[in-house]
Amino acid sequence: MIKQPRLTLSEFFEKGDQFYIPQLSIDCVIFGFHEGELKVLLLQWKDSKKWCLPGGFVLKQEHIDDAAVRILQNRTGLNNIYLQQFYTFGDPERARKTHGARKPGDVTGKSWLTERFITVGYWALVEFSKVDPTPDDFSLDCKWWDINKVPSLILDHNAILDKALSSLRIHIYDYPVGKDLLPQKFTMPELQTLYETILGKDLDRRNFQKKMLSMGILERLKERKQGGAHKAPYLYRFDSKKYQLAMKQGLKFGI
Amino acid sequence: MIKQPRLTLSEFFEKGDQFYIPQLSIDCVIFGFHEGELKVLLLQWKDSKKWCLPGGFVLKQEHIDDAAVRILQNRTGLNNIYLQQFYTFGDPERARKTHGARKPGDVTGKSWLTERFITVGYWALVEFSKVDPTPDDFSLDCKWWDINKVPSLILDHNAILDKALSSLRIHIYDYPVGKDLLPQKFTMPELQTLYETILGKDLDRRNFQKKMLSMGILERLKERKQGGAHKAPYLYRFDSKKYQLAMKQGLKFGI
DNA sequence: ACAAAAGTGTTAACCGTACACCCATGA
DNA sequence: TCATGGGTGTACGGTTAACACTTTTGT
């Protein structure tokens, strides 16, 4: 990984464009799943107190995918995140100057940051409990929001989020999203709730289980989940070998 | 549409970055269909004689989609093209300087054009016979190539083309590609050949026809296609009203 | 007349959906 | 013992895939 320069906030406003590609940013929609709810990780800006997607910039000699990985790493503390580029947003109105962002008091004149930006959107799937939400230099706070309760965000970030969700809903049919969103061991009802939450519709318990098991990428453990009321459900985990074999042959999820 | 500056080639190398966003380009994969073959429109560079995808740059205050439309318009002479953004390519090796591009003799020093570029990929569907292939200022030639006979292209353009084709193959299931790739009136066997060519596999004649007609977006004309040997096939056209109604309800092509 | 392409219909296999019964557990 | 959630199996219906026969036209 390419090393990032250490800059103060004022330095960043004044001469960040010596290190980063101008007018190009990365925005990440980080999905998590907790207590039956689909969550996204959002940041709160210091100046306007408004919420936004975690984002960042691309170093002069950095791959855009690596920039996304770096941003994800910084906000969540995680490596090896499942990451997917989904769309690039290029409306000329996408500029901080037209949306009330303020420079630090001691920065005079124009800053590269107030220009119009094109942003490349990525979404990521992470295991909720492993994330350590960490604000960046622009932010007061970094926390999970229920996807259904996301507030009004800066710029076009609500639109970016919507597009990410659509993209995720399409990807759910050829990628086993549970692999990244759930803990290693999980129950079938938990997996089903995940799918129901992402797709926004109820699924038949029995047909769902049949479908999932028929793909042959799940391994049922001897253990059962203890502690809940009622009958203890089996625990499952993804079988990496079978999974990789299945993916090569083009996995199809007919949910 | 925003007006483009009129620059000589040398001026473009020297100060194009006053008008265009630096380090960001657009590349277009323009698909056509002719004589049973899927075609792409390619340009031949003046200096290296190598072939490449038609591309261009984004004006400071221009939407990236509009830039793509402008490029398409310039290379084909067509408006109202069906256009789809499919991926953004951000490898730091994507730089003309590392791939043997030469500046005009009178341009000294560094040019913005030799920097590393991020490029946003679009593909387009056009009616082959309506296209007037037009080279740009960098190119000697502009012509159609059979998708299976495309030569080695500059930079990562072969990879971009591959990704565009994958994206098209996915889109074929929820968009009636024949609408843009075929002439207004066409026969069912022609439509089938188009699908077979894009998908790269043979389809059953009878099942194909049933599927297509069952979507209710085709209108069969009284005329038949004359001139061929053997039995004259019916002509069809897309029924715009039925088509738009069907698209609203989410059209599915189970080919 | 014959070959080759086009129009149309039928059947069997498969898959998705709907649904019923039994078991385990805590209240 | 009852309510609730979990595990498993079966039957129906629709869709897809495989396939056969007839018609048209140029040679």
Contacts of A124 (CB under 8 A, 6+ apart): A28, A29, A30, A31, A68, A72, A81, A82, A83, A84
Section B94-116 average pLDDT: 80
pLDDT of residue A229: 87
Q: Smallest Cα–Cα separation from A35: which of A180, A144, A139? A: A144
Query: Any atom of strand C under 7 A from CB of B233?
Result: yes
Contact flag B88-A88 (C-beta cutoff 8 Å): yes
Interchain contact B64–A (C-beta under 8 A): yes
Q: Choose among A23, A62, A65: nearest Cβ to B24.
A: A23
pLDDT band (50, 70, 90) for residue B253: confident
Mean pLDDT of chain B: 94
Looking at the predicted structure, is the pLDDT value of residue B106 above 90?
no
Distance between CA atoms of residues B254 and A128, nearest Å: 36
pLDDT of residue B98: 64
Percent of chain B with pLDDT over 70: 98
CATH fold for domain B9-171 = Nucleoside Triphosphate Pyrophosphohydrolase (3.90.79)
Looking at the predicted structure, is the pLDDT value of residue B251 above 90?
no
Alpha carbon B138 to its chain centroid, in Å, reads 19
Does the reported pTM lie above 0.85?
yes
The lowest-confidence range among A171-175, B53-57, B66-70, B148-152 is: A171-175
pLDDT of residue B47: 84
**Which tens digit of pLDDT belongs to each residue from A71-115?**
999 999 999 999 999 999 999 999 987 665 667 777 777 899 999
**Residue type (1 letter), A173:** Y
pLDDT of residue B2: 74
Q: Give the domain ranges of chain A.
A: 9-171, 186-249
**Which tens digit of pLDDT belongs to each residue from B219-243?**
999 999 998 889 999 999 999 999 9
Q: Residue B194 in contact with residue B33, Cβ under 8 Å?
A: yes
Q: Residue A176 in contact with residue A239, Cβ under 8 Å?
A: no
B 2-31 residues with CB < 8 A to A: 21-24
pLDDT of residue B158: 98
Domain A186-249, architecture per CATH: Orthogonal Bundle (1.10)
Q: Distance, in angstroms, between B91 CA and closest chain A CA? A: 5
Section B245-252 average pLDDT: 84
Partners of residue B90 in chain A, C-beta under 8 Å: 58, 63-65, 67, 120
pLDDT of residue A98: 63
Looking at the predicted structure, is the pLDDT value of residue B99 above 70?
no
Q: Smallest Cα–Cα separation from B155: which of B12, B85, B50, B43? A: B50
pLDDT band (50, 70, 90) for residue B196: very high
Section B170-185 average pLDDT: 96
pLDDT: which is higher, A58 or A228: A58
**Which tens digit of pLDDT belongs to each residue from A200-241?**
999 999 999 999 999 999 999 999 998 888 999 999 999 999
**Which tens digit of pLDDT belongs to each residue from B80-96?**
999 999 999 999 999 98
Q: Choose among A22, A67, A85: nearest Cβ to B87.
A: A85
Looking at the predicted structure, is the pLDDT value of residue B161 above 90?
yes
Alpha carbon A140 to its chain centroid, in Å, reads 19
Q: Residue B120 in contact with residue B21, Cβ under 8 Å?
A: no
Interchain contact A156–B (C-beta under 8 A): no
Mean pLDDT of chain A: 94
Question: Please, what sign has the CA dihedral across residues B136, B138, B142, B144?
Answer: negative
pLDDT of residue B3: 78
> Per the structure block, which two tokens stand in for A99?
């949306």
